[in-house]
């Protein structure tokens, strides 16, 4: 039993060391982060918002390799409420997104169909990217990371 326990401890130590090689501390601008965009559609515009958002999703998928996750959800309690959930590889990916013509076209087409549009950033995002987002006029709240890590998805 003693040897099994020693073997288990050695195995776990090796696993922890391997896991440590695939994690890094969160730092400003160079790590993945989350953006949540909340939209409230005008009463008569919900279907158009969904249609335009579907086209935007396809364009982002085709043109933005730094967008790691891009999903569009409908509020289960409000048929006019929608949420974009986005995970960016780094701050440069957000800057690219904000400058990407398909996003700019989407925002110009969807904005008149909305009663409200807000953005929440979660994570360590460069000041340049935050300021660029705020310069769009979109109400933005940045929840800055105090501590944490990002686990690599590649071995």
Tens digits of per-residue pLDDT, 98-110? 999 999 999 999 9
Q: For the chain, how are helix, strand and coil distributed in percent, rounded to 5?
A: 45, 30, 25
Q: Which candidate, 9, 5, 7, places its Cα nearest to that of 17?
A: 9
pTM: 0.81
Position 108 in a domain: yes
Alpha-carbon distances, residue 35 vs 2, 19, 121, 133 (angstroms):
49, 26, 5, 11
In 3-state terms, what secondary structure has residue 153? Answer: coil
Give the pLDDT confidence of 100-151 residue by residue, as tens digits. Answer: 999 999 999 999 999 999 999 999 999 999 999 999 999 999 999 999 888 8
For residue 139, what are the domain limits?
25-151
Q: What is the mean pLDDT of residues 64-74?
A: 98
In a domain, 75, yes or no: yes
Residue 131, domain member (yes or no): yes
Choice between 12 and 29, residue whose per-residue pLDDT is larger: 29
Q: How many domains does the chain have?
A: 1
The CATH number covering residue 129 comes to 3.30.70.100
Whether residue 10 lies inside any domain: the answer is no
């Amino acid at each position: 039993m003693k040897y099994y326990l020693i073997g288990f401890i050695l195995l776990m130590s090796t696993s922890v060391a391997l896991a440590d090689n695939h994690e890094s501390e969160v730092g400003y601008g160079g790590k993945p982060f989350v953006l949540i965009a909340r939209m409230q559609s005008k009463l008569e515009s919900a279907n158009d918002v969904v249609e335009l958002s579907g086209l935007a999703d396809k364009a982002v998928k085709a043109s933005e390799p730094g967008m790691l996750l891009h999903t569009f959800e409908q509020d289960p309690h409000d048929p006019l409420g929608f949420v974009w959930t986005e995970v960016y590889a780094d701050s440069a990916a957000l800057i690219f997104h904000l400058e990407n013509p398909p996003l700019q076209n989407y925002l110009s087409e969807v904005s008149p169909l909305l009663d409200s549009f807000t953005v929440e950033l979660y994570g360590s995002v460069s000041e340049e990217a935050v300021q660029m987002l705020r310069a769009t006029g979109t109400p933005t709240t940045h929840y800055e990371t105090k501590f944490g890590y990002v686990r690599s998805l590649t071995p």
